Structure 1
């Protein structure tokens, strides 16, 4: 039997390869450039839950994933001896206007009702005090929200740990430097950019923004593209701060305290751009806003500026599962801003589907066949 082919070496592809390897499958993972060269190799690493109000299947799935990720990372670190830079540090959000406090108090009750798992209760606290020496008092005149569910991870350290785990498994081949430009499910063959081909028994498309052209060709005719690329810019600063400080989030600005005195600031969300990998004045503005929110960053030197493309499926939800037209083809992409928090659960779903079993459920809006049906019916 041929190998399981995983196309893409970002967070989705690595988790898929590891889940399959743990099931005893022979896996070949093909990455166009290098592991983590795309959006997964960024800087931010914020693991933030959806709002606790108007609870639905999508929010429940993400909640379960965020809670279970802690144990998954613990096992990954124990087996590889590598740190993923994970900490459940929480999140602090300034309330910009007085009426937002009343809304937030309602959400405090929503969290009590919905943020529970395995005997653990996570909270959405509305409070007056700020985080000393972290969040500016000027931003907290109406109070703040502090949630105890949010966490952070070092994207690059986590990718390195996943890669090490794949190497330990002994049944995963990592193939970097040449991508896949076409897939022929009927003959179990993938054509590479250098003209060579790979045979497979089953294939998982997990190539980030590179997934969408492959899906479109394999699904046509469609009335809209299966997804698009959204550019994000971020920066890494050096600052002597406590790595246990909570993530600051407000109005599109994320400030994430990592280990070793490093702080990540992000991120832009650009649907139109000339150069996908360049940084510009939009990042400069983010840094100014971050320094206003966290005054300790005002003199912090920037040690890296980063830009990359994040995959957003049509309709925004991830696209996951067996392709409706091809029994041996599976899709795992479109996580956009939430990939690191849910990739392990989505990968488990896909590998279970390949193995012919079902251990977890995912929201209907994530299912690949539903995405494809919507794209064939109308523009999204």
Structure 2
């Protein structure tokens, strides 16, 4: 007997499956190609907030997900016995112009109000940020303590392990004989299906590329500078990402754009220049028209549900997405933020 079937074993499918299993539902997750076989199997894993300004329900939702992430991922690790690579290590960003400095200081005031003392956004001297700090033309950097990192692949496998530990199943194969309440979390394929069936653009795939260096910077903060994201993982590797391409020849092969990114990363962070690149990754990320997650009743399948989208913010939003989907699917309680509703992308 299956209470909930989730089609798709990426981050939204697994997070939703876990939220349902945690509440006692018998869950089956089905994926055609495997756990984290799509873009959720990437290597970057930066969990960072939107800027603390023009506050709204979507930013509040993300904030609550990020604040609750440590307890969330620690529980996953405890139940599954598997690592997730989670760590709330904060982030550093250089400030290169006077205008950017004024904006950063304004956002520090906003963060004090909206983050309510649970995290800090502040402007500090670059020299006070330690050795792991990108160069800053102003001599000042943003230091914020809400950002965290997770290892995407390991986190997805840990979620699958936690679902299994709660008597659930994770099955590799075609979506056939679906039982119970059904949730479609099929990423780019799901957005393309909607676009084709409805005859208008609902979403598309955006290719991303990233590189993994053999550089041990465990415990160092995340950093972002000149279009480069740097994520020191807790396994002694360091991820650099990522490109963003709407038009591409192949979604599963790296190319010259990644080599340009690697070169740029070595210029911005000279410590990388002597480190080996141990993996190159490419994948296609789902981007709903609204850019936000697409959650709620499925527009093509009556009585079924969808959890898709979440372009670049999927892992950061995952704890909250799983909970509101479980509320809707199991209890009929709809607490999905207005900007996350399916209608926002139709």
TM (norm. structure 1) is 0.86
CA apart distance, 1:324: 5.2
Specify the alignment match of 1:234 in structure 2.
210
Match of 1:206 in 2: 185
State whether structure 2 residue 115 is matched by structure 1 residue 115. Answer: yes
1:315 to partner: Cα distance: 1.9
**1:62 maps to which residue?**
62
SS at match of 2:310: coil
Extract unaligned runs of 5+ from structure 2. Answer: none
Which of 169, 172, 185 does residue 173 from structure 1 map onto? 169
Q: Distance in 1 between matches of 2:47 and 2:35?
A: 21
The residue number in structure 2 matching 1:134 is: 132
**Runs of 4+ in structure 1 over 6 Å off:** none
Q: Residues 40-65 of structure 1, C-alpha deviation per residue, up to 9 Å, x if partnerless?
A: 01000100000001111111110011
**Structure-2 separation of matches of 1:305 and 1:4:** 36
Q: Does 1:367 align with 2:346?
A: no
On the 8 A contact 2:92/2:141 being kept in 1, the answer is: yes
Q: Deviations over 1:3-34 (max 9, x none)?
A: 42211011111111112222332322111111
Check conservation: 1:134, 1:295, Cα contact below 8 A: no
The 10-residue stretch of structure 1 (2-11 or 148-157) with the greater mean CA deviation from structure 2: 2-11
State the Cα distance separating 1:364 from its structure 2 match: 0.3
Partner residue, 1:50: 50
- 1:309-348 alignment, distance < 5 Å: 309-323=284-298, 326-348=301-323
* Contact in 2 for aligned 1:231/1:271 (Cα 8 Å): yes
- Cα distance in 2 for partners of 1:239, 1:27 equals 39
Partners of 2:293 and 2:307 within 8 A in 1: yes
Q: CA deviation at 1:99?
A: 1.9
- The corresponding residue for 1:32 is 32
The aligned counterpart of 2:246 is 271
The offset of 1:134, in angstroms, is 2.0
Partners of 1:278 and 1:38 in 2: how far apart?
13
Out of 276, 288, 312, which is 2:263 matched to?
288
2:217 pairs with 1:259: no
Contact 1:135 1:295 in 2 (8 A): no
8 A contact 2:47–2:316 mirrored in 1: yes
- Which has the higher mean CA deviation after the structures are superposed, 3-12 or 51-60? 3-12
Give, in whole Å, the separation in 1 of the partners of 2:133 and 2:266: 10
Partner Cα distance (2:300, 2:216) in 1: 54
Report the Cα distance in structure 2 between the residues aligned to 1:12 and 1:234, rounded to whole angstroms: 21
Q: Is the 8 A contact 1:136 1:295 kept in 2?
A: no
- What displacement does 1:357 show? 4.2
- RMSD, aligned CA: 1.9
What TM-score results when the alignment is normalised by the length of structure 2?
0.94
Return the alpha-carbon distance in structure 2 between the equivalents of residues 363 and 143 of structure 1. Answer: 36
- Pick closer, same or farther for the CA change 1:294–1:325 going to 2, 3 Å: closer
